Amino acid sequence: MKDNDVVDLLLHQHEEIKGLFDEVENAAPEDKAEAFQRLVRLLAVHETAEEEIVHPYARRKIDHGDEVVDDRLAEENSAKDMLTLMEEAGVDDPKFAVNLATLRTAVIAHAEAEEREEFPRFRQATGDKERQAMAVGVKAAEAMAPTHPHPGVETATQNLLLGPPVAIMDRARDVIRKAMGKPG
């Protein structure tokens, strides 16, 4: 596997996300909140990077790119809404397990749609060097991305304008919560 190709990198992250869903489901009660926060963080940075780097490029490069990206953004926004509600309610919420299963189904369906509809066309429409440069861009975007979902911020422009200050606030909140002995 080559994480220096943007498609390979995103495919690898899809597998990490699936593994984190398993981890949250199977975590002992005292470990569930921490595992869930790792899932929240990976989903947040992964989607932000796709929104900033991959989707704008896909709109321009692949056939019917606007339609494909708009469908993926609708899925992402729905998942962000659910993830935000789950994060606010916490892992002790009586509906957490049901909501986690629903979220998992939605996130996996979204990933499979990307893998089926977007990534093959993306590979075909781009060269190795483009995908390598985009992998670097995705890694940089993830390093500066918010660590919690922010529904309503789905475009590259919104992410670039709002992402850095929101990321600073998210990361500061994460540090404070950790210092207080609370997960994410």
Residue closest to 7 by CA, chosen among 143, 105, 106, 133: 133
HEC letters along 20-76: HHHHHHHCCHHHHHHHHHHHHHHHHHHHHHHHHHHHHHHHHHCCCHHHHHHHHHHHH
Residues 6+ apart with CB under 8 A from 66: 59
Using the Cα atoms of residue 175, residue 50, residue 99 and residue 78 in order, give the sign of their dihedral. positive
Report if residue 115 sits inside a domain.
yes
**Is residue 73 in a domain?**
yes
pLDDT tens for 118-139 read 999 999 999 999 999 989 988 8
Q: Which domain holds residue 156?
A: 6-179
pLDDT of amino acid 2:
66
Residue type for position 92: D
Counted domains in the chain = 1
**Cα–Cα distances in Å, from 157 out to 56, 84, 140, 161?**
10, 21, 16, 6
Would residue 61 count as lying in a domain? yes
Q: Quick one: which of 164, 165, 123, 142 has its CA closest to 16?
A: 142
Please report, for the domain that includes residue 21, its CATH number: 1.20.120
C-beta contacts of 23-31 below 8 A and 24+ residues apart: 24/100, 25/97, 25/100
Of 43, 29, 120, the residue nearest 80 (C-alpha): 43
Residue 74 maps to a domain:
yes
Residue 65 is assigned to a structural domain of this protein = yes
Q: Which of 1, 5, 3 is nearest to 133 (CA)?
A: 5
Task: Please determine, for residue 1, whether its predicted confidence score (pLDDT) is greater than 50.
Answer: no
pLDDT in tens, 73-126: 888 888 888 998 998 999 999 999 999 999 999 999 999 999 998 999 999 999
Query: pLDDT at position 172, please?
Result: 43
Whether 184 is in a domain gets the answer no
C-alpha to C-alpha distance for 20 and 40, rounded to whole angstroms: 9
State yes or no: pLDDT of 147 exceeds 90: no
Is 1 inside any structural domain? no
* Residue 177 identity (one-letter amino acid): R
